[in-house]
Structures are given as C-alpha cells and as structure tokens.
Amino acid sequence: MSDKKSKVPGLLITLAVLLIAAGAVFFLTQKNNAQKEKTAAEENVEQIFAVNTTLAVEGQIRDYLYVNGDIVAKEFVDVYPDAAGKITEILVDLGEYVIKDEILAYVDPSRPGMVFSHSPVKSPISGTVTSFPGSKGVTVSQQAPLATIGDLANLQVRTFISERKISHIALGMPAELTFEAYPGETFDASIVELSPVVDPSSRTMEIMLDLTDRDSRIKSGMFSRIKITTSVKNNIVKIPSDCISERFGEKFIFIINSDGTAEKRTVLEGININDVSEIISGLSAGEQVVYQGQSLLDDGVKVKIIKEVTPLSQKNKEEA
C-alpha cells in the first residue's frame, strides 16, 4: 500500500512537466507563426524613399583661372648716368612728375688729379619718378640705374601663369580685379600681352592686362587678385554636382518620373565649375533630378519628395 502511495507524486510531477513542455512548444509555435505573418505583411508593404530634388536647367557655365598680380606702369624707363662718379645734387623727389629731358641730378665724374664738369642726368620720357635709390654723395656707375620713370597715367596689371595653364590663356580674355583696399568692388580688365617665352627657372609665362576704365584709386605697386574667364559655354544643361553619383567608373543620376518612381540615368559630364556640372548627354532641361537621398535608391523604387531645391540660375552661378 505504501509503495502505491509513493508512486502517485512521481506521476503527478511527470505529468506537470509534460504539460509545461507542451505549453512551451505551443507558445513558441504561435510566436513563430505570428512572426512569419508579420514578415509576410512587411514584405507586401512597398518601401518609399524620401528625397530632395531640383530641376535641370539650360543656361551658361564659365571656367575661371585665379592668379595674383601687381599694378605697374605701362611705360617705365630706368635712367642711367652718362658717367660714373658721385651724386652732387638731386633735383627731383620720389613721386614727382617730370617732363622729357628734365634734369634729375648731377654727377661729378672727377678723379684724383683730374677735374671734370658735372654730368647732368636727364629723364628720357615724361612721367613720374617711381624709384630713386641714390642720395647725395653716393657713388654711381653706368651699369646701375640712378632712377626709374614711369607713366602712371597708363597702368597695367602684370601676372604670371604656370606652364601647365598657358594653353588656357589667350589675348582678349576678360578678367576681374579685386583689391584689399576696396573690398566688395571689382574692376574690369582684359589680357593684352602674352610673353613669347616661359621663364625656365619659375616655369611661368608673363602676361599683361589693361584696365577697361582708368580709376584714380588704383596705384602703381598695388597687389591685385585676378579672375580670368578662360571659357564660356551657353545653352548647356547643368545641375548641382551633388546630384551625380559614381560607381565602378560610371556616372549616373536619378530622375523622378510622373508616377513617383526613380529612374537611374547614366550621364556624360562636361565642365565642372564651383560645384556646378555640365551634362553633355543623359539629361534634358526641365527634368526633376534627385539632389539628396540618392545613395539608397535603385531603379524603379517609389520616392517621396520632401523638398524641391531652387534650381540653378540660367546664368553662371557666380552671376546669380
């Protein structure tokens, strides 16, 4: 009798374990089925990507070359004495305007035991004394200039172009000058002279520019920043460069179709200036291009336009 009673608790424990195991299996099965149903439902929901867009425009694009230069007199002459000796008298001041054949100074060419008349040093041109390094009593020679005379009524801009850029430069190209003395102002100029040689030491070519309009505020010796327009292309299709993606050497964009889907287009890019790209083929003016959010797109996916970015100006970006 006692053996029979002792077997009852064991059976109850076994039964309880089996019931718990069965419940766990049932719970896991239900959870797995629910997960499958959720996954299937999610797969049936079409994914939509958020993007910002802009319009491709037809307009103008320009290429520039930026260099630095100095304002110099268009005509200047170094003045040499006719005889070596000591300066006995200086008749002009630095910055003074002189006329042709005016005497600038006298030089005494006398030597021990020999006395000569003082030799006058004359200006070969009319202009302004831009340099006079000597002083009274200083010995000068015929190999070193005594002074420099410049025609400051006619100024030019002198700059140097690196050898690798000289193919971009031509006579008549327009340029804009800016000066630290006049912030926010620009002065027009154009290329009028090209050196026929390249300096072998600096590998640069000297060019000269004329100011379009004379301005009394511009002085000889001033430093200028120069923006030369090297090419202008009109009636081209252009978009912000950020619209273009590249993968495995292929450049492409995404446009938005009328049904709200993205279409991948391979494009041929031309000039790229200041984050503006010319599109030679693969895009037409007026088409809506994805500007931001294209990294997650694929051909044919649905998109939602969050923002339409203002299109580029039809003129060059810097003229907008």
pLDDT in tens, 45-79: 568 899 999 999 999 998 899 999 999 988 889 99
Question: What pairing do the DSSP bridges indicate for beta strands 127-131 and 119-122?
Answer: unpaired
Residue 254 confidence (pLDDT)? 97
Mean pLDDT of 270-286: 92
Residue 14 confidence (pLDDT)? 72
Q: Could you give the C-alpha distances from 287 to 53, 130, 257, 309, in angstroms and in order?
A: 10, 60, 9, 13
Q: Which of 206, 114, 213, 205 shows the shortest CA–CA distance to 155?
A: 213
Model confidence band, residue 43 (pLDDT cutoffs 50, 70, 90): low
The encoded tokens of residue 116 equal: 């000569």
Residue 79: count other Cβ atoms within 10 Å of its Cβ.
Answer: 20
More confidently predicted of 119 and 27: 119
Do 244 and 253 form a contact (C-beta atoms < 8 A)? yes
Q: Reply yes or no on whether the pLDDT at 15 is more than 90.
A: no
Q: What is the dihedral of CA 234, 238, 240, 246, to 10 degrees?
A: -130
Q: Reply yes or no on whether the pLDDT at 319 is more than 50.
A: no
Contacts of residue 109, Cβ cutoff 8 Å, sequence gap at least 6: 83, 84, 85, 116, 118, 119
Lowest mean pLDDT among 30-39, 67-76, 167-176, 251-260: 30-39
Q: What is the CATH number of domain 78-150?
A: 2.40.50.100
Q: Which CATH class is domain 48-62+233-319?
A: mainly beta
Do 153 and 128 form a contact (C-beta atoms < 8 A)? no
Q: Reply yes or no on whether the pLDDT at 192 is more than 80.
A: yes
220-235 pLDDT per residue, tens: 889 999 999 998 889 9
Percentage of residues of the chain with pLDDT beyond 70? 85
Residue 10 confidence (pLDDT)? 64
How far apart are the C-alpha atoms of 98 and 127, rounded to whole Å?
6
Residue 284 confidence (pLDDT)? 95
More confidently predicted of 16 and 1: 16
Residue 317 confidence (pLDDT)? 47
- Locate the domains of the chain by residue range: 48-62+233-319, 65-72+155-232, 78-150
245 burial class (0-12, 13-18, 19+ CB within 10 angstroms)? middle
Lowest mean pLDDT among 4-18, 158-172, 188-202: 4-18
Q: Reply yes or no on whether the pLDDT at 13 is more than 60.
A: yes
Q: Reply yes or no on whether the pLDDT at 31 is more than 70.
A: no
Q: Reply yes or no on whether the pLDDT at 274 is more than 70.
A: yes
Q: What is the dihedral of CA 180, 183, 184, 185, to 10 degrees?
A: -70
Do 200 and 248 form a contact (C-beta atoms < 8 A)? no
Query: Is 3.40.718.10 the CATH classification of the domain at 65-72+155-232?
Result: no
192 burial class (0-12, 13-18, 19+ CB within 10 angstroms)? middle
Do 277 and 241 form a contact (C-beta atoms < 8 A)? yes
Q: Name the residue with tokens 């002083």.
A: 135
Annotate 72-95 with DSSP letters as a single string. EESSEEEE--SS-EEEEEE---TT
pTM for this model (two decimals): 0.62
Q: Which of 306, 308, 291, 304 shows the shortest CA–CA distance to 255?
A: 291
298 burial class (0-12, 13-18, 19+ CB within 10 angstroms)? exposed
Residue 75 confidence (pLDDT)? 84
Residue 320 confidence (pLDDT)? 40
